[in-house]
Amino acid sequence: MLAIEELEAGYGDARVLQGISLGVAAHEIVALIGANGSGKTTLARAVSGLLPVNSGRILLDGDPIERLSPRARLGLGIAQVPEGRQIVFGLTVRENLRLGAYTQRYRLGERGLAQRTAEVCRHFPALLERRDALAGNLSGGQQQMLAIARALMIKPRLLVLDEPSLGLAPVLVAEIFRLIAGLRKDGLAILLSEQNARMSLAIADRAYVIEKGRVALEGTGAALLGNPEVAERYLGVGKGAAGAGEESESRHAVLVRGLAQILGAGAAR
């Protein structure tokens, strides 16, 4: 569905993406993992059109979209959940959700908007309960759910998720990842950029390791979870992991199994 070819983008003289190429198929969760500053957020912003590209191509179903406006890309079904959520604290949950469908407000009308809100909230019972609460009064986990729900209001084909677990307590992190894994079941393709490599690899069909604006490694989520180099550098397992001490491969296997249990059968393949 989405193909990124030799993409270059950055900020002024800072060349962040240096010829990155990757793809996301329909109904697939594709994770991007990498150290701070490797370019994950920059890639997410380039895909949704918030950052202009210098060269290379972004193709949606084979058509180039890299010069389209963010609004035009929304119209094609690409929705982004930005890092830091960026929900409007002074508006209610319901109002934030309606903002998500702003570009479709005339087509949907009042009835359509209410119906879409109800459909989206089916994935988020906690939001439904608090639909008249101010977004600023929600817990961190609920705010992240609201940011995801808002993006779903346009019925996207591709959801670009940037650091959805940032700043959340471990129990909420597991809940957010379980929710993301569940969204794919509805036929959505997901490009997931995350610091939490362990969780994102566990739910990803495929993943790319990004280093200095390029793809350094790629494979299935399961293959990268089991890759000793990835384990050492990004999962805090093994000799070289900063602060992790020496953990054996069997310890790693235990962690992966535990995660599979948290996420439920079938999520961690």
Q: Which residues bind ligand ATP (CB under 6 A)?
A: 11, 14, 16, 34, 36-42, 195
Comparing CB distances to ligand ATP, the nearer of 12 and 187 is 12
Comparing CB distances to ligand ATP, the nearer of 84 and 112 is 84
Cβ at position 176, least distance to ligand ATP in Å:
16
| 3-state SS record for the chain | CEEEEEEEEEECCEEEEEEEEEEECCCCEEEEECCCCCCHHHHHHHHHCCCCCCEEEEEECCEECCCCCHHHHHHCCEEEECCCCCCCCCCEHHHHHHHHCHHHHHHHHHHHHHHHHHHHHCCCHHHHHCCCCEHHHCCHHHHHHHHHHHHHCCCCCEEEEECCCCCCCHHHHHHHHHHHHHHHHCCCEEEEEECCHHHHHHHCCEEEEEECCEEEEEEEHHHHHCCHHHHHHHCCCCCCCCCCCCCCHHHHHHHHHHHHHHHCCCCCC
Comparing CB distances to ligand ATP, the nearer of 33 and 93 is 33
Cβ at position 31, least distance to ligand ATP in Å:
13
Comparing CB distances to ligand ATP, the nearer of 14 and 265 is 14
Comparing CB distances to ligand ATP, the nearer of 85 and 130 is 85
Cβ at position 34, least distance to ligand ATP in Å:
5
